[in-house]
Amino acid sequence: MQRVFEALASTTRRKILAYLSKAELTAGEIAARFEISKPAVSQHLSVLENAGLVTSEKRGQYVHYRLVEDNLANTLNGYLQEVCPVSRPLKVESAAKAARLDDG
């Protein structure tokens, strides 16, 4: 929980997650999308992995990273339920679908 919010506090790390939400990428492919050094990106990936937000798999010479969607969704939604009324997140997040389902 603490690690997840710390990981999300960095814009660079949130961008990495955004990239990984579209496709699995190697460390090098991720680094190429930023202007900071490769070791710096590697450190960010390490933070994200320690928070359980991404996982890595080494295939040959490359390390492939992918998003762990469940952990992100569960942590944020869990926190939201804790602090906000249960009904609100549902409405905010997919108001259209909820409305449709509630009406039907």
Partner DNA sequence: CTATTAATTAAGGCATGACTTAATTACCTA
Partner DNA sequence: TAGGTAATTAAGTCATGCCTTAATTAATAG
- Chain residues binding a copy of itself by CB under 8 A are 2, 5-6, 8-9, 11, 14, 17-18, 21, 67, 69-70, 72-74, 76-90, 92-94, 97-98, 101-102
**14, 18, 33, 46: which one contacts DNA (CB under 7 A)?**
46
What is the closest distance, in whole angstroms, from the C-beta atom of residue 97 to DNA in the complex? 35
Number of residues that bind DNA (CB under 7 A): 28
Interface stretch with DNA, choices 7-15, 16-24, 70-78, 88-96 (CB under 7 A): 7-15
Interface stretch with DNA, choices 32-40, 72-80, 81-89, 96-104 (CB under 7 A): 32-40
Cβ proximity of 14 and 8 under 8 Å: yes
For residue 16, give Cα distances in angstroms to 29, 60, 85. 11, 22, 30
C-alpha gyration radius of the chain: 17
Residue 22 or 96: the one with the smaller Cβ distance to DNA is: 22
Write the DSSP string, 29-94: HHHHTSSS-HHHHHHHHHHHHHTTSEEEEEETTEEEEEE-HHHHHHHHHHHHHHHS-THHHHHHHT
Q: Footprint of DNA on residues 61-80 (CB under 7 A)?
A: 61-63
